[in-house]
Each structure stands twice: as C-alpha cells, then as structure tokens.
Structure 1
Amino acid sequence: MSAKSQLASLIQDFQQQRPVRAGSLIITIYGDVIHPRGGNVWLGSVMKLVAPMGINERLVRTSVYRLVQESWLQAEKVGRCSYYSITGDGLRRFRQAFEQVYSIGDDDWNGGWCLTLLNQLEPELRQKVREELKWLGFGNLSPTIMQHPRFKPEQLTPLLQEWGAFDDAIVMQTHPIEPRNSKALRRQIKESWNLDELGLRYKRFLGKFRPLWRELNNNDNLSPEDCLAARLLLIHEYRKILLRDPFLPNELLPNDWEGHSAKQLCRNLYLAIYARSDEFLACNLENASGPLPVPGAGFYRRFGGLMP
C-alpha cells in the first residue's frame, strides 16, 4: 500500500461516521489553520478545504449558519462574498483543547485539585454546567461536585459567567496532598472518570493513524493537498478524544496508558506533513484583502517547535 491509499481509508472512515459532523470539522479547521493566519477567511476557502472529505457546499453553508447561531463564528459581508471568523466566546471555548493538542506534555501536578460545587444551582442549570465541565475534562466527585487536577479557579471564572452560573457556583482549590497516588485516590479516579473508555478511544486512534505513519516512511506519495486532508483528519480525531481527557498526572494513570503513544504519533505525523500542507494553504486561502497572512510565531511553537 501507499500513504495515499491509507489517506483514502481515513477519508472513507470519516465519511461513514453518522451523523457527519461538518460543523465540528470546521471548528478544527479554524483552530488548526485559520486562527494562526489572522482568523478570518472567505467561505469559499472553507469549502475548498473540506471538499476532499466529501462535504458539499450545501452542508458547509448549513453548518456555518449553525455555528453562527451558536456564537462560534461571526460573519462579515463584503460585496457578494461572506467571510467568517471565530467569536470571542468561541475562542474561549476551544482554546484550552487546542493548546493541549499541540503541547508536548508535562507532569507539573502539585497534588492539588480544582473543585466546583454545583449544589446551589437550579437543577436545569446544574445539568448544563455539569455537561460543560465534562467537556473540559472534569470528573464527578459526587452528583454536585466536579473535580480536575490541573484546571485553575481563575480559568473557570469567565466560563461560569458565560453559562450564567457564576453567582451560585462555588469554586475551590485544594492544597497539595501526600501521598499523591494513594490507593484511595486511585479508586476515586476510577469512579470519577471512565479511563477504560478513554483508553479504548486512544487505541482506536492509534489503529487508524499508525498505518499512515508507516507508509509515510515507506511509500510517501502524498501531494500538498493530500497532506492537508491528512493533517485535518489527524487533528480532528485527536481533538475529539482530548475533549474528554482530564490529563491526569502520570502517577494516577495506568502504566500502559495509550494516551502517551497517541500524543507521540500525532506529533510525528504532524511534523511529517505540515510543511507540505502549508504549501497548499498558501495558495488556496483568502480573506477580503487577498491571501491569508503567514502563520504567527505561536504556530511554530506547536509540538515543541516546528521549522518555519
């Protein structure tokens, strides 16, 4: 087989997902490609980026409309052309997840926990906030208490305000504890997070993308456009898993945790294809002023450092 045939398999797998979540893929595109280049892009450019995945123009328009209604994107009309950028609220929602995607990882946990008490919220709002916190990787300590090992109280303030829960939620930061990996704490981890399910999702990710990595080393016949499709699918699938990952300290994870291998694979693939994919982006993305600018300095800090 070849790298191109492995990419075709990945695209086919994406197309068979039901429902096809084009809006989620578009958010991935904004986070990985558009935001580092100024954040604003012509709708036609977005259509060109998703076409290799089999997403037609009608679905793009519908998905972008929904993202505007959900305050992810904002529109600007210039003549007959529409240009879209991430809203401030949208940027806050996905910033942490994308920062985790491109980090090389660390284990700087000091033993403390961020606790969020929701017992003073009305039941409907409590359920909404619980779901939002789960998407940020919080686990259940009890039906009304959520916990996270790395989140900081100051990071929660704007989010609780956005959700309308700031006045009635209680946020606490515990002091470091010793020992950090006690038997009781490990039991609590298993009750608060479904690590078996998360580990299975990482295993599936490895099964999908390892064949592409092997062929990149044996028979790399990807064009710049192919590299972009592979890059977007890679980051999209990896990001979906990270949305549920609390990034527990290594001392609280199983010894054979698949998340470490998934991170390394994602980094290796990205480093192998991003430069060629950027060749395609430089020729095919535009805003009202013309071609999108080159990526900012922050882009080249991804995965510990990319070559400009």
Structure 2
Amino acid sequence: MSRALAPILDHVRAEPSRTWSIIVTIYGDAIVPRGGSVWLGTLAAIFQRIGLSDGVVRTAMSRLASDGWLERTKAGRNAYYRLAGKGEETFRRATAQIYSRTAPPFAGHFEMILAEPAARPALEAAGFGSPAPGVWVAPGGTVPPDGLEGAVRLSAGGDAAANRALAARAWPLDATGAAYARFLDAFAPLRAALDAGQTLADLDCLVARVLMIHEYRRIVLRDPVLPAEILPQDWPGTAARALCAQVYGALLPGSERWLDQHAVDADGAPLPPGPEVWRRFAA
C-alpha cells in the first residue's frame, strides 16, 4: 500500500461511515458511468484494499438490494448487481451536485416566503433556508416549489454585511464550513504527495478516488451552494472543491485503468469506459 493512501484509510475508519454508503459512492462515481452493473468480486477487491471483509460487503449489498437500490442476478456461481430504477434519478441529481454544481452569481436580493410549517420539506428541497420560524429565504432567482397556496412572497436584501448575516441565520454555514475544513485537512497530504511526484498503484488510485468523493459528497449534498457574495469570507468550500478537482484528475488515469482491466458485467465482458468521468469538475 502506498504511503499516501494509508492516512486516508485511517481517516475514513475514524469517521462514522457505513459500508453500504461507500458502495453507493462506488456505484455513483465509477460503476454507473460504465453501465451500472458489476460483478460482486470487483467490489470485493476494492473493499479488501480498504480493509473490509467479503462478508461485510455481501451483507451491505443484500441490504441495498432489499431496499430497492440494486438488482441482483447470477451467472453460474457469480453474483452481479445492477443499479435499480429507484436509484437512477437520485444518482443523476447527486452527480450534478457533486461534480458540476458551482455557485451562481448573486442577483442582489433574496426570495422570501412566509409559509406554514407543512411547506418545510418542499422548501428545503428547493434550496430555501429558514432564518426564523415560518420565514424562508433563497438567493434571488431560486424557483419556489409548487403547492404554496396561501404563502406570502417577498423580495428582501441589504448591504453585503446584512446579506451575509441573513445567510448565516438561514443555513448551518458554520457546520458546513467546519466539515469542509476537515475534508481539506484529510486530503491535503494526498495532494501534496501527488504534487511531489509520488505514484500510486492503479487500485490505490481507485480507492483514494472513491474515498475522497465519498467524503466530499457527504458535505456537498447538504451544502446549499450559495453565491460567494453571501458566504463568509475565505469560505473553505471553494478550496475543498479545488482540491477535489485537482486530485480527482490526477487519480483518474490509474483508477480508470484498473476498472478497464478488472470490472466485468454479467456476461464476463469488461465494462465499457464512461467518457463523462473525464469531464467532471470542468464547470
């Protein structure tokens, strides 16, 4: 195992992550671009490098299949798992957020909605935050959800300091910023090692890539991705995305080479490469 990978494994083992959650990351990051189905042995090889047993992986796969996220087929004694229809739209949205979503420009005002508590799930899903009970705000231009009968819609804003203060009350930016800072602390040594010319084995490239995206997605999927003008100064999310993009690009050749050689479908054929992975973090 490369010296650069060991600290990452230590970091992941110290976090309250579960095997099934890492499997979801593997599918979204590496398997879905190649068609969505893979031999269980391919996943077992990845998890052996992480340090998890085949039994733990099989249990997690069975749980995901029981919950409707994966579909299981067999060819002889070999099991293959494909992403089920339930997960396709979820994976599509998550992919857009993780690899492509950048902060929009600030329109200079907030959309403000006064709504009943029952509207909370729909407003949160649409990207609105709440600075006070019954009050919801989002950067100007955010499209409110349907079904807000009786809600009052306003436009609000102030100077730069007031806008930042409103955003800080509406969204848990302190917690999100702290999570990004921990991500930077965990993966900056890997970037430094790669910058210094340290090379990783192809499987180590894939493991590092998957674990980095696993940690990153746990933050970014909860991040409202607000315009820079209303975020705190020196927002760590900006540096985290830059690090993730740089390291991801460095790990892609080796990790994709390992998948080319080891990832097979239910017919025993190599999974075809997914060209879209080379365009990730480009925007």
Task: Say if 2:67 is the partner of 1:67.
Answer: no
Structure 1 spans left out of the alignment, 5+ residues: 158-167
Residue in 1 that maps onto 2:98: 101
Task: Say if 2:33 is the partner of 1:6.
Answer: no
CA distance in 1, matches of 2:274, 2:151: 36
**Residue 298 of structure 1: which of 264, 276, 281 is its match?**
276
Indicate the SS of the match to 1:294.
coil
TM alignment of 1:47-126, pairs within 5 A: 47-103=44-100, 105-110=102-107, 111=109, 113=111, 119-120=117-118
Task: Say if 2:137 is the partner of 1:140.
Answer: no
Residue in 2 that maps onto 1:278: 256
Give the 3 Å change call, closer, same or farther, for CA 55–79 of structure 1 in structure 2: same
Indicate the SS of the match to 2:249.
helix
Bigger Cα displacement from structure 2, 109-118 vs 201-210: 109-118
Does the Cα contact within 8 Å between 1:23 and 1:64 map onto a contact in 2? yes
Does the Cα contact within 8 Å between 1:115 and 1:172 map onto a contact in 2? yes
Indicate the SS of the match to 1:281.
helix
Q: Give the total of aligned pairs.
A: 281
The root-mean-square deviation of aligned C-alpha atoms, in Å, is 3.2
Does the Cα contact within 8 Å between 1:118 and 1:170 map onto a contact in 2? no
CA distance in 1, matches of 2:115, 2:82: 34
Residue in 2 that maps onto 1:164: none
Q: How far has the Cα of 1:284 moved from its partner?
A: 1.1
CA distance in 1, matches of 2:127, 2:48: 32
Query: Could you tell me which amino acid in structure 2 is paired with residue 278 of structure 1?
Result: E
TM alignment of 1:198-237, pairs within 5 A: 198-237=176-215
Query: Could you tell me which amino acid in structure 2 is paired with residue 119 of structure 1?
Result: P
TM alignment of 1:157-306, pairs within 5 A: 177=155, 179=157, 183-304=161-282
Sequence identity percentage: 36
TM-score scaled by length of structure 1: 0.78
Bigger Cα displacement from structure 2, 232-241 vs 90-99: 90-99
CA distance in 2, matches of 1:62, 1:139: 37
CA distance in 1, matches of 2:114, 2:43: 38
Does the Cα contact within 8 Å between 1:117 and 1:144 map onto a contact in 2? yes
Give the 3 Å change call, closer, same or farther, for CA 297–284 of structure 1 in structure 2: closer
Task: Say if 2:41 is the partner of 1:44.
Answer: yes
Query: Could you tell me which amino acid in structure 2 is paired with residue 64 of structure 1?
Result: M
Q: How far has the Cα of 1:270 moved from its partner?
A: 0.7
CA distance in 2, matches of 1:265, 1:237: 13
CA distance in 1, matches of 2:274, 2:282: 15
Query: Could you tell me which amino acid in structure 2 is paired with residue 9 of structure 1?
Result: P
Give the 3 Å change call, closer, same or farther, for CA 44–220 of structure 1 in structure 2: same
After superposition, what is the alpha-carbon deviation per residue over 1:167-218, rounded to whole angstroms, capped at 9, x for unaligned?
x77698968x575755554333222212111111111111111111111121
Bigger Cα displacement from structure 2, 290-299 vs 235-244: 290-299
Structure 2 spans left out of the alignment, 5+ residues: none
After superposition, what is the alpha-carbon deviation per residue over 1:268-301, rounded to whole angstroms, capped at 9, x for unaligned?
1011110111111111111112234333343232
Q: How far has the Cα of 1:78 moved from its partner?
A: 3.5
CA distance in 2, matches of 1:94, 1:206: 25
Does the Cα contact within 8 Å between 1:40 and 1:83 map onto a contact in 2? yes
Does the Cα contact within 8 Å between 2:111 and 2:156 map onto a contact in 1? no
Does the Cα contact within 8 Å between 1:137 and 1:244 map onto a contact in 2? no
After superposition, what is the alpha-carbon deviation per residue over 1:83-109, rounded to whole angstroms, capped at 9, x for unaligned?
222223322224323212212724245
CA distance in 1, matches of 2:182, 2:244: 13
Query: Could you tell me which amino acid in structure 2 is paired with residue 99 of structure 1?
Result: A
Indicate the SS of the match to 2:2.
helix
Q: How far has the Cα of 1:68 moved from its partner?
A: 2.1
Q: How far has the Cα of 1:243 moved from its partner?
A: 1.9
